[in-house]
Amino acid sequence: MVVSSWREGRMLLQLQSIFEINGISGVVGMTPVLEDQIRGREIEAYLRTTEGSGMEIENYIILDDEEEMGSLRGWLIETEFQTGITEEIKEEAVRRLSA
């Protein structure tokens, strides 16, 4: 799933290429763009669309430089726009997904 300002237009293709170069394939969907809503609401809307779809989400994290996640704040690992995903953030993500 992609939740990013990159999800629109050609930037999505670039993001998918970056994922594939790093051994991550299979972008399965994108969150909707909900006008005047926080990012957490877009993620909640996407998660609702997966219910009953046969796609089972067992665990997830949110990597984002925006902190407005509402009820999903507990899944957020906040990044910085300037540095992106650091080694420390990667380790935290792996730890949470492995728990």
Query: What range defines the domain where residue 29 resides?
Result: 5-98
Residue-wise pLDDT for 31-86, tens only, equals 888 889 999 999 999 889 888 888 888 888 998 888 899 999 999 999 988 888 88
Report the predicted TM-score, pTM, of the whole model to 2 decimal places.
0.74
Distance in angstroms (rounded) separating the CA atoms of residues 54 and 85: 30
Domain count, the chain: 1
